[in-house]
Each structure stands twice: as C-alpha cells, then as structure tokens.
A and B are shown apart, each in its own frame.
Chain A
Amino acid sequence: MKESADRVARFVDDLLHGRRPRRFEATPEEAEAMTAAAGLAASRVGADLPDKASLDRIHKRLSESLDESPPVDRQLSRRAWLRTAGAAAAAVVVGVALDEVVTRHQESGGGAGTATLLPDTGSWRPVAALTDLPSGHAMPISTASLDAVIINDGGRISAVSGVCTHLGCKLQPDDNNRKLNCPCHQTAFSWSGKVLYYRLKAAPANLPQIPSRVNNGQVELYIV
C-alpha cells in the first residue's frame, strides 16, 4: 500500500506542477487512482484551456504533414498575398502567424483564399471604442457602406466582412466557439474569415478581410 501511495503521490505532484508525469508500470489500483487524479487536476478552473503556443505547435505539425505544397510555393504565396493586400493590409497582419497567412492562399474547397477589402477612396474611420471590445469577443458593426465584424483575439484586433458570402445574411458571433454563424444556412466562419463548415452544394468563399487598427483607443477600419 505504501509503495502504491508513493507512486501515485509522485504522479499527482507531476500533474499539480504542470509536468508530464513520469511513466511506470502501474497496478490496476494505482491506475484507478491516477485516472481520478487526472480528472480532478483537469477540473481546476481554466486548467483545460490550451495556450496559444500549444495550438500553434499542433497546427504547425498538422500543416507540415498534411499540406502537400512544396515550401517554395508557400513562400511565393505569402509574398503574393502581401503584394495583393498592399501596405495598409500588410500593417494589420503584423503578428499573424505565417501559417495562417500561407493557408489563406492555399485553401481548396473553402472558397479559394481570402480577399482583402481595400476601397479606392477609403480612409481610416473609427467604428467602436476598444473598451467596448474585450478580449475574446467579436462585435458586429454597421456603417453606411458595409457590415463588418470586429474581433479582439487576445489583444489582436482584426475585422472581416459581417455578411455571409453565400447569400448575404448577417453573421452572428458565437464567442464561446470563436465562430461567426450564418443564421440562414448552416454555415460558419472562423474569426479569421475562413469557412469552417457549410451545408450548401458548393463551398462559399471565405470572408473578405477589412484592414483594421487601434488609434487613440478607437478601433478603426479602412473603409469608405
């Protein structure tokens, strides 16, 4: 009993210190206690939320294994994307992971990449106070020229078109799942505007990006 208690205590210590537990051959009784310990450790508030670095590593390894395009194409895609988007858009993608930039151009079936809306006679216009857009929230806004959704993803502000690319229904943010849902048909977009899923004959296009920035505490969009 003492040896089992010691081994399980060491396992619990590893869990509570955020370490990967050491491996050993457990008796059935020890394993039973360890599974209960894992459940209790996971029930601490916020413990089961992955950090961004973890998600980035998973995404990178999936991307390396599943994307068949050679690396040179990815570099070209990135340059082409930046060239298309122009200087204003380039400024707003500072901080966007390379993988995300690359995949915008590579997506197949999900609407062939993402366009950036750069109006010919646009200017930076405030659309909301930053204090009204806390981290982890997406907010629909309407201006005279367009409907958009502005997003605060852990302090990174971005904006996408607020209407579904299928038939133009206004998108509804679902903050818990970091999605924008189309209320008309079962279609959803990620906060970056990518199609997550759709219930249509053909995949709708991804949502256009709208250049955004924060200026004097205001979220501003580059629009007409």
Chain B
Amino acid sequence: MTELRVLGDPDPDRPADPEPAIYPNWESVYQDNVIGIYQLVFRKVGNSADAEDLAEEVLMHTLKTLRLPAPVPTVRAYLVKTARTVLADHWRRHYAARDAASELEKMPIEITTNPDAADRAQRLLSLLPDHFRNILELRFLRGYSVREAAGELGVTESNARVLQFRALRKAAELEREVLR
C-alpha cells in the first residue's frame, strides 16, 4: 500500500538539511543586501541622500561587528536590528523625534524589495476622507507644489499647508492602527 505523505512534510528519504547558507566575506553581504537595506531605510526617510548615508551606516556597523564567514539568517537578522537602531537614532538626532524613534524601534521591518509600496500607499489614501486624500494625491502622486494644489482645491496656500499637515497626521494614524 502506498504511504501518503502530506505536501510540505519533510521527505523521509532526503538527508537532513546541512547548516544554513554562509556569507563568506563582506563583499557577499554587500552584494546580497545593499539594495534591500537601501530600500528599507528609504521607506523610512523618503530621500536618497539620507538613505545612502544610513544604508552605509547599517552595513558598516554590521560588517565591523560580525565575524565572517557567518550564516545568512544571522547576518540578515543583525542587519535589520541595526537598521532599526540607526533609523531611530536618525529621527532622534536630527528632529528630536523621540516618539517617532520609539515607534521605529518597535516596528516590524524587513529586508525586502517592496513592489507593493505603491499599492499600499493607494490603500492608505483610499482610507482618508476626501479632502485629506485630495491634497496628498496632488502633492505626492501628481507632484503639485503647495501653490498649485491650493489653486486646484480652491483654498489659500496657507490653508493648503494646514490641510496637508492634518492629512499626513491622519495618514500616520491610519498606518499605525489599520494597515500594520
């Protein structure tokens, strides 16, 4: 009688897995992770100049701390841990943003390319009330200046800035409470 085996169960005939994969040297850690780390920090700072500096800081600290060769999961876990600390420190040091920094230290982050970032932003925008969504779409998706957005919405520039501020705070709240 044929023995049934559930898909995903380990194959009994297959030898046990050897040790996890190994990064042999710093070049291999760099090659395999630099883009993922850059994208991870970019999503938290929104600009390339800071993202470049912080990605380098994350890699430099990790590579100076860990002894190589080292298992891939160990290195990646350390990179993520370091990224979280470096990002929190960035927001604390440059903007005195203690709450935002603490939030970052708790937030689950991972090294992945983020093909669904645009979808996620659209989903976030769709949850906002119309007047908040409109200003953020004009500014972030269509690249309008404050003046152009104000003209489109029929409000003063000063009111457009206030609207943008309130819309961003609401977006942060939704991100924290609904999308995470």
- Name A's B-contacting residues (CB within 8 A): 1-2, 4-6, 8-9, 12-16, 18-21, 23-26, 28-45, 47-51, 54-55, 57-59, 61-62, 65-66, 103, 107-111, 176-179, 186-188, 190, 194-200, 203
Contact = CB atoms under 8 A, between A and B. Distances in A.
B151 interface: no
Most chain B CB atoms below 10 A, which of A24, A50, A111, A178: A50
A196 B46 contact: no
Contact of A42 (B20, B49, B117): B117
B22 A203 contact: yes
A59 B64 CA distance: 14
Contacts of A54: 38, 48, 52
Interface of B: 18-28, 30-32, 34-35, 38-39, 42-52, 55-56, 59-60, 63-64, 68-69, 72, 91, 94-100, 103-104, 113-114, 117-118, 120-121, 124, 136, 139-141, 143, 145-146, 158, 161-162, 164-166, 168-169, 171-173, 175
Contacts of A47: 42
Given A20-B49, A33-B169, A110-B24, 5 more contacts: A5-B158, A5-B165, A43-B140, A44-B118, A190-B28
B118 A107 contact: no
A5 B146 CA distance: 11
A198 B95 contact: no
Name the residue in A18, A39, A194 with the highest tally of chain B Cβ atoms < 10 Å from its Cβ. A39
Interface majority SS (helix, strand, loop, mixed), chain B: helix
A110 B47 contact: no
Nearest to B140: A40
A107 B30 CA distance: 13
A30 B161 CA distance: 12
Contacts of B21: 186-188, 197-199
A81 B140 CA distance: 49
B50 to A, nearest CB: 6
Nearest to B141: A44
Contacts of B56: 57-58, 61-62
B69 A39 contact: no
Given A179-B32, A186-B21, A41 B63 contact: no
Nearest to A187: B21
30 contacts: A4-B165, A5-B164, A6-B161, A9-B161, A14-B47, A19-B49, A28-B99, A31-B96, A32-B168, A32-B169, A32-B173, A33-B168, A34-B95, A35-B91, A36-B169, A37-B46, A38-B43, A39-B175, A42-B46, A42-B117, A47-B42, A55-B34, A58-B34, A65-B64, A109-B24, A109-B68, A186-B20, A190-B28, A198-B21, A199-B20
Contacts of B124: 40
Contacts of A188: 21, 32
A58 B20 contact: no
Contacts of A178: 35
A9 B56 CA distance: 28
Contacts of A20: 47, 49-50
B22 A16 contact: no
Contacts of B45: 38, 42
A80 B145 CA distance: 55
B31 A190 contact: yes
